[in-house]
Amino acid sequence: MIDWIFLAIISLVSASLAVQWLLPRRRQGGDNFGLSSPASLFDAVFLFDGDKLISHSDIALEGFEQVRDWADLRRLLQRDFPTFPETPDRIRREGNMVIPAIDCTVERDVMCEWIDGIVRVQLRNQSECPSATHRAPNDPNRLAMEKAPYPVWLLDHQGNVRWCNAAYVSLVRKVRGQDTDLTAPLFPVPDDDQRLSAKTRVSISSTFSDNKLWFDLTLVDHPEGHLSYAVDINAIVEAEMAQRKFVQTMTKTFAQLSIGLAIFDRNRQLALFNPALIDLTTLPPDFLSCRPSLSSFFDRLRDQHMMPEPKNYRSWRKQMNDLLEAAEDGNYQETWSLPSGSVYSVSGRPHPDGAVAFLFEDITAEITLTRRFRSEMDLMQSILDKLADAVAVFSDDGTLAFTNYAYQKLWGDTGDAGFEADTVLDVTKAWQEHCTATPILGEIRDFVEMRENRAEWSAVIYLRNGTPLNCIVCPMQNGATIVRFNMDPPETMRQEVQQISA
């Protein structure tokens, strides 16, 4: 009996010594555990027999007064150590475990040990645990993940964050604030249909700003869930938005143009067109919206009789190849006279990145007006040529505009206009070569250059052979002047008598 009592006393003393060995003494000074725990939890130790808490260090009482069993401790640690085991059975199976913090920037972890049926849980500072090789400070894999410039995190099968790097922590705190739950996913939880290793563009909203942040999200399969990678693409999105706004502005501008516009990209497919193109070419909008190729576009124009009919298909294809080459050089400019009587001006211009733009302008009214004006000018010239008097018309700037056949015959003028029109000075000098000296030519020159107080007058000049010419000078509207020469004897005699009488 005494032996049994003696053995019980020895066992009790041994257990007490073991507990004292397992439980560290209080250390001076406090260091925040780096998470949501108070400073007094630094290096706290808990002992469990199964799920039941059997002892703890005195320092643990200051932060975990409510801990009675394993579930209580896990509930308190789960936010900052989401991989903390649900039951101590896992510790019994694996022996020792080190539970890292979800925030890799925090140099804290939880050490779990199986010691003769007792589970020892210690909250510790990693800097004092050089033997913890699972997260060696110089591990290249660890450094690559923690120093990565873009967010990286691990999602479990329930959609909770189990681990994240420094960039992810910084982003979460920027978006949600400093004191936030890192286990709650910042990015949308992927669907089952989302392909792995495929980029998905996602946006997140900040609590402190209305602006959205855009990322390319990539998922990689992992035994515990999915490894997730996010790449900041805000600059790309802003550039795309600016480009989209620019295209919309240009589209609105093009919509107001009366000139048809068709832009083909580097693949020679229709990339942009405006409503005027539909009106001018009568091509169906659904056909243009399907982005036809360049050859299909012009084939359709030919079928619609909206371009000059080629002699044969081979020459047509050659013409299209020449057209494209000229457009790429910016030299294509043609006038199409259509069977309907309309006239189009078509030009091709190169654009950046190998694109080509074609402009279609209806110039039927201009061509009609030009033809009518030319017809009227031809009619007027025919009338002038039928007159017996030599006629010269000077414009308001003093240049010779028109002459008739009688004038050309009188003064030996061919009637061919050069690049520069003859001035009244040049013309009167030519007259002087065929006439005797007379001040009349100078007076004609001054009259043509006058702008006010102009009235019709006449005079007689003599050719070198003695033939008198009756010269009549008439002002016209807009500063023009008509000078007529005739050899009417009665009129000549009458003017000479008047000159002698005067």
CB 46 within 8 A of CB 121: yes
**What's the pTM?**
0.48
Please, which residues bridge with residue 359 across strands?
A: 261, 347
Euclidean distance between CA atoms 170 and 173, whole angstroms: 5
The two structure tokens encoding residue 366: 């201009």
Structural domains in the chain, sorted by start: 17-135 (3.30.450), 143-232 (3.30.450.20), 244-362 (3.30.450.20), 377-501 (3.30.450.20)
How many angstroms separate the CA atoms of 194 and 196, rounded? 6
Q: What are the φ/ψ torsions at residue 199 (nearest 5 degrees)?
A: -75, 140
Give the residue from 144, 123, 150, 135 showing the smallest Cα distance to 27.
Answer: 123
What pLDDT does residue 10 have?
A: 42
Per-residue model confidence as pLDDT tens for the chain (502 residues): 444 444 444 444 444 444 443 444 434 333 333 334 444 455 788 889 888 888 877 665 555 667 888 888 888 887 788 888 888 888 888 878 888 888 776 777 888 988 888 888 888 876 555 444 445 555 676 677 777 888 988 888 888 888 888 888 888 888 888 778 788 888 887 766 666 667 888 888 887 777 889 999 888 888 878 888 999 999 999 998 888 888 788 777 777 888 899 988 888 899 888 889 998 998 999 999 899 988 889 888 888 888 887 666 567 667 767 777 777 776 778 888 888 888 999 888 887 777 888 899 999 888 888 888 888 888 888 888 888 899 999 999 999 988 999 998 888 876 665 557 789 999 999 999 999 989 999 999 999 988 888 899 999 999 988 889 999 999 988 889 999 998 865 554 555 455 555 5
- List, in sequence order, every residue forming a beta bridge with 47; answer none if it has no partner: 55, 120
> Which residue carries 């309907």 as its tokens?
340
Q: Note whether 307 and 298 are within 8 A (CB).
A: yes
Give the Cβ contact number of residue 386 at 10 Å. Answer: 10
Kindly give the residue spans of alpha helices, DSSP state H, lying in 61-178: 70-77, 89-94, 140-146, 166-176
Nearest in space to 226 (alpha carbons), one of 172, 168, 160? 160
d(CA 18, CA 209): 56
> Please, what's the largest Cα pairwise distance for the chain?
182
